[in-house]
C-alpha cells in the first residue's frame, strides 16, 4: 500500500516540478507511510524516501513503514529534523503550508540557511498535494470506512435503545461513547453531540447536564474511528408523539436529503450538490434556517475534501466519500438534521449509513 502511495506522490511531484515533499501533517504522514505514531516527519523524494522520528518509534517505523529510511532524531522534537535535508542541495522541496505553523516554518528555513550555500534546497509551498490524492479512496480505505460506519450505526442503535425522557444529554453521550469503545472503536472521530429541545437549534451543540424533555426532538451526531478512518452519522429522535411542526420540519429535511442522494452524480460540483437540498428546504419556506453546507469529505480526517457547500468548486468523482446532512435550525424551537455517510460509485451516490430514519416514534431514529 505504501509503495503505491509513494508512487502517486512521486508522479505528482513530477507534474509540479518538485524534487521532494516534506510531510508534516499527521494524517498525510500516515496515508503515505502507514505509520500510526504521533510524532515524525517524512520526506518523499523522486529517488529516496526518509522518515525522521525519535527513539519511541524507531521499531514502529521498521514495522509499519519499511520502505522509508529511518533518520534518528534525539529527543522528541520531531517536528523539526534538519538531518532530513542531507543531500538535498539544489533540490526544490515542497512543504504543506496549511499545516506548517509559522514557528515551524521559521525553524526549517533557519536550518536551511545554516547550510553551506551548495547544500541548501529551495523550500516552496506545495498546497494540497497529498490531499488531492487522498480524496479518491482505494479499496482498503473504503473497507475501513465501511467498518467505521457499521460501528457508528450500532452505536446509534444502542443510543436509541436506552434513551428516555429525564436522561441528561451528557448521560446519553456517555452511553454512546462507552458502547462504541467497548465494541471496537479506536476513538471517537469527534465529541458526540446530543441536543434536546431548543438546544437542537445549535448545529454543534455540546451535551449538557440537562434532562432530555418529553415531547421534544433530540439531535444525535456521532462518529467513531476504526483503523484510523472516521465515520459521521446524525439522526433526530422525538421523545413522545411528534407534533405537526416537528413532522413538517422533519419531512422537509428528509425530503431534501433523499433528493440529494438520488440526484447527485459524478461531474457535479460541490456547490451544485448543495443546491439540490437547499432548493427543497427553501421551497418549503425554511431556507433561512439551513445555514451550513450539505456535506464534507470523510477519511483519515473527519472533515476533508470534497466539500459540498455553496462556495465549493470541487468536482465529485467515483471514490469520493462524503456526508449528506441537510438540517433546519430554528432558535427557540430546536432543530432537525439527518446525515448519511456516502460513497460515489458508478457515477451515483450510495449511502453507506444504514440507521433507520423513517419512524418518528421513540426508540427508532427519526
pLDDT tens digits for range 92-113 = 999 999 999 999 999 999 999 9
Q: Given the DSSP bridges, would you call strands 340-345 and 321-324 parallel, antiparallel or unpaired? A: antiparallel
Whether residue 358 has pLDDT greater than 80: no
For residue 178, give every residue at least 6 positions away whose Cβ sits within 8 Å of its Cβ, in sequence order, or none. none
Q: In 46-96, which ranges are continuous DSSP H helix? A: 58-64
Biggest CA pair distance of the chain: 76
Is residue 81 classed as helix, strand or coil in its secondary structure?
Answer: coil
Cα-to-chain-centroid distance, residue 263: 23
Place of cell 422533519: 250
**Hey, which residues does 297 pair with through a beta bridge?**
304, 322
Q: What is the DSSP string of 117-138?
A: GGGPPEEEE-TTHHHHHHTS--
pLDDT at 362: 39
State the DSSP code for 163: -
For residue 117, give every residue at least 6 positions away whose Cβ sits within 8 Å of its Cβ, in sequence order, or none. none
Dump pLDDT digits (tens) for 251-290. 999 999 999 999 999 999 999 999 999 999 999 999 999 9
Q: In the chain, which ranges are continuous DSSP H helix? A: 2-16, 26-33, 58-64, 102-113, 129-134, 139-162, 169-182, 244-263, 270-283
Dump pLDDT digits (tens) for 158-186. 999 999 999 999 999 999 999 999 999 99
Q: What are the chain's domains?
A: 2-134 (3.40.350.10), 139-351 (3.90.230.10)
pTM equals 0.94
Amino acid at each position: 500500500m505504501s509503495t503505491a502511495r509513494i508512487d502517486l506522490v512521486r508522479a505528482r511531484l513530477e507534474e509540479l516540478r518538485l524534487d521532494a515533499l516534506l510531510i508534516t501533517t499527521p494524517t498525510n504522514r500516515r496515508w503515505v507511510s502507514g505509520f500510526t505514531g504521533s510524532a515524525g516527519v517524512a520526506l518523499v523524494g523522486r529517488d529516496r524516501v526518509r522518515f525522521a522520528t525519535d527513539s519511541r518509534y524507531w521499531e514502529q517505523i521498521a514495522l509499519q513503514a519499511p520502505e522509508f529510511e529511518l533518520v534518528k532524531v534525539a529527543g522528541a522534537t520531531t517536528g523539526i529534523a534538519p538531518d532530513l535535508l542531507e543531500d538535498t542541495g539544489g533540490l526544490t522541496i515542497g512543504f504543506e503550508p496549511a499545516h506548517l505553523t509559522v514557528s515551524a516554518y521559521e525553524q526549517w528555513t533557519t536550518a536551511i540557511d545554516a547550510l553551506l550555500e551548495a547544500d541548501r534546497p529551495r523550500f516552496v509551498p506545495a498546497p494540497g498535494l497529498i490531499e488531492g490524492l487522498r480524496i479518491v479512496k482505494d479499496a482498503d480505505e473504503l473497507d475501513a470506512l465501511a467498518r467505521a460506519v457499521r460501528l457508528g450505526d450500532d452505536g446509534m442503535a444502542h443510543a436509541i435503545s436506552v434513551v428516555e425522557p429525564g436522561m441528561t444529554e451528557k448521560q446519553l453521550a456517555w452511553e454512546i461513547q462507552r458502547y462504541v469503545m467497548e465494541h471496537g472503536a479506536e476513538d471517537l472521530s469527534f465529541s458526540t453531540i446530543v441536543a434536546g429541545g431548543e438546544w437542537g437549534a445549535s448545529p454543534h451543540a455540546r451535551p449538557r447536564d440537562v434532562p432530555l424533555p418529553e415531547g421534544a426532538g433530540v439531535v444525535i451526531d456521532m462518529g467513531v474511528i476504526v483503523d484510523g478512518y472516521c465515520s459521521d452519522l446524525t439522526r433526530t429522535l422525538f421523545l413522545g408523539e411528534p407534533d405537526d411542526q416537528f413532522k413538517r420540519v422533519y419531512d422537509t429535511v428528509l425530503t431534501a436529503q433523499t433528493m440529494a442522494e438520488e440526484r447527485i452524480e459524478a461531474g457535479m460540483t460541490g456547490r451544485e450538490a448543495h443546491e439540490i437540498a437547499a432548493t427543497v428546504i427553501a421551497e418549503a419556506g425554511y431556507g433561512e434556517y439551513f445555514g451550513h453546507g450539505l456535506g464534507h469529505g470523510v477519511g483519515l480526517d473527519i472533515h476533508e475534501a470534497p466539500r459540498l457547500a455553496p462556495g465549493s468548486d470541487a468536482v465529485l468523482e467515483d471514490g469520493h466519500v462524503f456526508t449528506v446532512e441537510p438540517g433546519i435550525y430554528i432558535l427557540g424551537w430546536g432543530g432537525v438534521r439527518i446525515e448519511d455517510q456516502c460513497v460515489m460509485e458508478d457515477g451515483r451516490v450510495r449511502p453507506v449509513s444504514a440507521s433507520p430514519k423513517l419512524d418518528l416514534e421513540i426508540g427508532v431514529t427519526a
